[in-house]
Structure 1
Amino acid sequence: MKIPELRWPTEPQPYDEDLLVDVQAGSVVLLIRGRNAWHSTWVRHYLRNATLYTDLQSAKHGAESQRGPGNVFYIVEAPALLLSGQRSKVVLCDAHPDNPFGAFRGFASAVRESPDGAWIDGIFPGVSVRDAVIAFGHRSGHWAGPTPSEHSLRTGMLDTVNLFDAKRHPLQSLVSRPIGSNYYLQWDPNSSGNRYTRRGANAVAKRWTEVAVEATKGHAQVEDKARELQRHRDDVLKAMPKSQWLVEKARVDAEKREAKQAAFERWSEVSDSVSELEEALWEAEAEQDDARMARMKPESTSAGIRKQRERVEAATAEVERLTAALAEAESNAEALWVLYSQS
């Protein structure tokens, strides 16, 4: 059968509902089309939505629907991995190198500490299938040597593990030969043979078996195995999966940004208040000076003198009040600026 493309559910689900419980090495069938492009250039490419098949016969049927003038098809059995979770069964094929997955270095060995909590990346006991697939991405940082081509990793999803060819057998490579438009394509062994080796895929599956056995104490049932994998991650590794850590870090960073913005807005308000108090104090000091100058020329009546005195006293009191308020506002502004700078 044609292996459907990998499409994750759109609805969110709890992380621990689809933990990786098994990794198997096996093979899939790649369907590749060759054709003349321009200036007698021969190109080979994977067919859109028709790349991976579970068996040779299905790939041959897939080629029939893609036939066209000048097309030549290649069917190649390639090493593959099946990542099995509580829900998902994901097929991975590293199509470009001769030793698929030979450069993969994604098994995590160290927990990363950070102010936002401990986290772990790559493949480890307690990782979800989705995070495990991400670890095989070309920009994951888990590959030795040059960054792999983004087109090398082919992915698909199966309904059951029984559809995955995990048997050990020689890998075939076939090339199509047309004998007429009314007849099925004929298939001959490719003269260049099959270039793939299973070493890399086998090494990944073996490594997973080692870490899983150590973490699960030999539990065979999927439910028990998943619980043990989760326990190992939470109680032994004591670390969050990187994807969860990134979510938590984003939440903490958002809270920090909100707190910083709130501190800035509060500082702006107090700074505006400082400016208003400074202007009010300048006006009050000017009034105090005017009142004192007027008192130096006493009025001719006792009522007028009393009024001059009360004016000076009121101006002085207002200067003192505004001076104290300004000092408090400046102190608050300085404290809020320190809080803003440190947040």
Structure 2
Amino acid sequence: MTQLLSFKESIFPKLAGSTIESKSSTLLYYVFSGRNAWHSTWITRYSEGCMHPTLELAKNYAEKRRTQGTVFHIHELPAILFRTRNGCLIATQINSKNPLLNYLPNPFTTNLESTKLDMVDTLDSYTCINPTISETVLSFACGSRFWLTQPPTEDSVITVATNDPTASFAVLSNDNLQIRTSCSLGKKYLLGSPVKESGYSSSGVRNILAENA
């Protein structure tokens, strides 16, 4: 079972310094929940452990956490998968209909105000095969010169990782991305998951990979 956690150098020290060996598009299954009260609008918040490489793992995660009145949502999100010999990094974006659309893999200008991100000014692209994982993560950070429009500082761009270099991930095959919303079928039954199309686009992810193909 592959568990995906927020990337931090203290948690993934070997992965942090590893050089990217391959990159590809993939799907992540994003699970979030809320109380179905007063028919309020859902606000999606990132929580540790909510991203999953397969639908089965996402459903199991929701099943273990269900309580009366809680509704779970599983969103298919397009993402970029970076593989190294010491693990994998996956980058995506929540609260966006087109994740990573405003990320520029080959920026033309430098954001001189981004002093804390000076190290990402040493290469023209961090989605190619040469940089380390830590450098690539910094390029996705808010304040990086790699953004056409800066993303919010919270609940937006997400980078998760695993130490397993052979971990399996879903294939991003088309733009028919789906949303599943749990419904209770009784205490003795697993959660049901009605499916509908999300209207999300994967063009942002595909464009990044195409520019560094």
Retained in 2: the 8 A contact 1:25–1:166? Answer: yes
Give the share of equivalent positions with the same residue, in percent: 20
Q: Is 1:178 the equivalent of 2:184?
A: yes
Return the letter of the residue paired with 1:171.
L
Change (3 A) 1:3 1:206: farther
Secondary structure of the corresponding residue to residue 163 of structure 1: coil
Pairing of 1:116-265 with structure 2 (within 5 A): 119-120=122-123, 122-123=125-126, 126-158=130-162, 159-169=164-174, 170-190=176-196, 193-209=197-213
Return the letter of the residue paired with 1:48.
S
Pairing of 1:1-343 with structure 2 (within 5 A): 1=1, 3-10=3-10, 18-36=18-36, 41-46=40-45, 48-107=47-106, 119-120=122-123, 122-123=125-126, 126-158=130-162, 159-169=164-174, 170-190=176-196, 193-209=197-213
Return the letter of the residue paired with 1:200.
G
* TM, length-normalised to structure 1: 0.51
Secondary structure of the corresponding residue to residue 140 of structure 1: coil
Task: Give the whole-Å Cα distance in 2 for the aligned partners of 1:167 and 1:135.
Answer: 23
1:130-152 deviation digits (Å, cap 9, x = unpaired): 11111011221321124334211
Change (3 A) 1:44 1:108: closer
Secondary structure of the corresponding residue to residue 147 of structure 1: coil
Shift of 1:160: 2.7
Shift of 1:34: 2.4
User: Which structure is richer in relative contact order (CA contacts within 8 A, separation 6 or more)?
Assistant: 2
1:58-78 deviation digits (Å, cap 9, x = unpaired): 111111121122211111111
Task: Give 5+ residue unaligned stretches, structure 1.
Answer: 112-117, 210-343
Give 1 or 2: higher helix fraction. 1
Task: Give the whole-Å Cα distance in 2 for the aligned partners of 1:148 and 1:133.
Answer: 16
159-168 or 194-203: bigger deviation: 159-168
Retained in 1: the 8 A contact 2:22–2:129? Answer: no
Task: Give 5+ residue unaligned stretches, structure 2.
Answer: 111-120
Change (3 A) 1:7 1:100: closer
Task: Give the whole-Å Cα distance in 2 for the aligned partners of 1:33 and 1:43.
Answer: 9
Shift of 1:99: 1.1
Shift of 1:174: 1.1
Shift of 1:128: 1.2
Shift of 1:40: 6.4
Give 1 or 2: higher strand fraction. 2
Secondary structure of the corresponding residue to residue 182 of structure 2: strand
